Amino acid sequence: MALLSHHLTLSLRRNLRLVASGCRYVSQTATKTVSEIEYDAPSMKTPVPGPRSKELTRQLGEIQNVGAINFFCNYEESRGNYLVDADGNRMLDLYTQISSVPLGYNHPALMKALANPNNLSAFVNRPALGILPPENFPEKLTESLLSIAPIGMTRVQTMVCGSCSNENAFKAMFIWYKNKERGTNNPSAEETSSCMINQSPGCPDLSILSFMGAFHGRTFGCLATTHSKVIHKLDIPSLDWPIAPFPRLKYPLEEFVQENAREEARCLEEVEDLIVKWRQKGKPVAGIVIEPIQAEGGDNHASPDFFIKLRSIARKHGCAFHVDEVQTGGGATGKFWAHEHWGTDDPADIISFSKKMLTGGYYHTDEMQPDKGYRIFNTWMGDPSKNLFLSEVLNVIRRENLLEEVTRCGKALLQGLYELQSQYPHLLSRARGQGTFCAVDACNDVTRDNLLVKIRDKGVLLGGCGEKSIRVRPALIFKEYHAHQFLNIFNDVLSEYK
């Protein structure tokens, strides 16, 4: 115990010293706090994974499956936009732990929150929030999650990860649908007995409509609405729920307005047909779930008009409308929520989040509130210490105008991708993005995978998505000079590509 506290004190002291003294100066335009701690460029010592990462992968392989491990990291040495690996390679991180790091590594504001004695009990004691919340919980939720609540939503349910947020949001939609259908919250005796043996009417044959290419998580309910990659789905029993086509648009969007509008109309028509078909099949659609930009499925965009029309189709057919902002939420598109780009004051009934929000959960309208405790429930139902960090993240976003910065840097990033695709049309196409939430397609999957490795060996970490896309997901502290660092390295790799 004494050893643990000694270690914690030492590591806090070390990190706080870094906060105070700074180690590298980057640029006049960088935010002060980040420039105090950040490195100035990537620095590569070995190919990635290097020998130490390979040895650690071998060791871990004796304990777990390591098939997805890229390399091991040194999080103590990582700073701001730069991730340091176990071999001492320093990479500009444009993938940020699958798009889940809001302020980069070891941000001073978060270090300070951790060192604040008033926060200690929140870090040490993890409550079962559904039954024994801390006395400051309403105040802390108001300060953090409610301060950025989507328009029209005053209620929020915290959860742990993206999948459990979606899973519980689906349950909330089913409960709402059945109570509406019954006209009462009181189930019949037949319903209460049949639900215990997984039979109708207690376990009704309801469905959720999702879209081809969508990713909503890997737990059973979520997986039935995930259609991005075979690896997620194979061998897992699933539900017979309707799957609509997601618009396959041409980019840049502003050059293909008419054609894209026709494609969106086709998909919306299909949605209505599916809702009718599934009702006739005896599996009515209780809810529709959609991402504002399909991320894992290939960074597929759709227009505000598409989402607004989809929302009204949901209402017309009595289905709840769930917008999954697990990846798009938290500022990367230049607005706090991607659905804000739709410009409507009634975007959804449920909006789920996780990743950059640090805590999972979902906002919902009053109607989606379950009628009893324990209907939406698990042991932790979130983690109040994550709300403390989120409050700090929000303070930094506001203080440093990070959403405007994301919009500005995103333009430079996308412009750079346009230039690269016109310089290397045989390798790249379909550059697209909103804020720094950008992507570009390679000519095929093998080239995409090769490009990702070559770029990484030169010090930039990126992700793949969809069949052959490269996705860029920097933290909110990403600056224009980071965009140029990346674009220069990308250009070097493309010019050498055989």
Ligand X SMILES: Cc1ncc(COP(=O)(O)O)c(C=O)c1O
Applying CB under 6 A, which of residues 108, 162, 410, 463 lies at the interface with ligand X?
162
Count residues contacting ligand X (CB under 6 A)?
15
Question: Is 355 designated active site?
Answer: yes
Tracing tokens 């660092």 back to the chain, one arrives at 485
CB closer to ligand X out of 263 and 296: 296
Shortest Å distance, C-beta 193 to ligand X: 33
Q: Residue with the closest Cβ to ligand X? A: 162
Query: Mind giving me the DSSP string for 386-410?
Result: HHHHHHHHHHHHHHTTHHHHHHHHH
The DSSP letter of residue 290 is E
Q: Which of 85, 263, 264, 296 binds ligand X (CB under 6 A)?
A: 296
What is the rounded CA–CA span in Å between residue 9 and residue 6?
5
Binding mask 65-94 vs ligand X (x if CB under 6 A, - otherwise)? ------------------------------
End-to-end CA distance of the chain: 56
Nearer to ligand X, 161 or 313 (CB): 161
The amino acid occupying position 104 is: G
| Stretch touching ligand X by CB under 6 A, among 56-64, 201-209, 212-220, 247-255 | 212-220
**CA distances, 320 to each of 101, 206, 347, 362, 376 (Å):** 30, 12, 11, 14, 17
Q: Is there binding between residue 217 and ligand X (CB under 6 A)?
A: yes
Q: Is 212 in the site for ligand X (CB under 6 A)?
A: no
Q: Which amino acid is at 22?
A: G
- Measured from the CB atom, is 39 or 437 closer to ligand X? 437
What is the rounded distance in angstroms from the CA atom of residue 49 to the CA atom of residue 55?
Answer: 10
Q: Between residues 31 and 354, which has the closer beta carbon with respect to ligand X? A: 354
Question: For residues 35 and 327, which CB has a smaller minimum distance to ligand X in the complex?
Answer: 327
CA distance 431 to 422: 10
CA-angle at 290, arms to 287 and 294, nearest 5°: 165
Nearest to 349 by CA among 176, 160, 148, 146: 176
Q: Are 435 and 429 in contact (CB under 8 A)?
A: no
Residue 216 touching ligand X (CB under 6 A)? yes
Tracing tokens 């990846």 back to the chain, one arrives at: 327
Q: Does 163 bind ligand X (CB under 6 A)?
A: yes
Cβ-count burial of 440 within 10 angstroms (0-12 exposed, 13-18 middle, 19+ buried)? buried
**One of 168, 225, 354, 387 touching ligand X (CB under 6 A):** 354
Which of residues 112 and 232 has its CB atom nearest to ligand X in the complex?
A: 232
Q: Indicate which single residue of 93, 324, 349, 480 sits in contact with ligand X (rule: CB under 6 A).
A: 324
Site membership for ligand X, residue 469 (CB under 6 A): no
Query: What is the closest distance, in whole angstroms, from the C-beta atom of residue 160 to ligand X in the complex?
Result: 8
Assess whether 215 carries a catalytic annotation: yes
Complex with ligand X: residue 293 or 494, whichever CB lies closer: 293
Q: How far is the CB of 162 from ligand X (least distance, A)?
A: 2
- Shortest Cβ distance from residue 295 to ligand X (Å)? 5
Q: Give min distance, CB of 99 to ligand X, in A.
A: 7
Q: Binding pattern to ligand X, positions 325-344, x when CB under 6 A?
A: -xx-----------------
Query: Which of these is catalytic: 215, 321, 478, 490?
Result: 215
Please tell me which residue in 355, 386, 468, 479 is annotated as part of the active site: 355
CA 294 to chain centre: 10
Q: Kindly write out the interface string for residues 410-439 of this chain, putting x where it contacts ligand X by CB under 6 A and - elsewhere.
A: ------------------------------
**Which strand ranges, in their side-by-side order, compose the sheet holding 428-434?**
428-434, 437-442, 469-472, 463-465
State which residue, 42 or 297, has the beta carbon closest to ligand X.
297
User: For residue 362, what are the β-bridge partners?
Assistant: 157, 352
Please tell me which residue in 250, 371, 379, 445 is annotated as part of the active site: 379
- Other Cβ atoms closer than 10 A to 398: 12
Alpha-helical segments (H) within 234-343: 257-280, 304-316
Using alpha carbons, select from 58, 79, 81 the residue that is nearest to residue 71: 58
Question: How far is residue 453's CA from residue 296's CA, in Å, rounded to a whole number?
Answer: 19
Q: Which of residues 98-157 bind ligand X (CB under 6 A)?
A: 98
Q: Which residues are catalytic?
A: 215, 324, 355, 379
List interacting residues with ligand X (CB under 6 A): 98, 161-163, 166, 215-217, 291, 295-296, 324, 326-327, 354
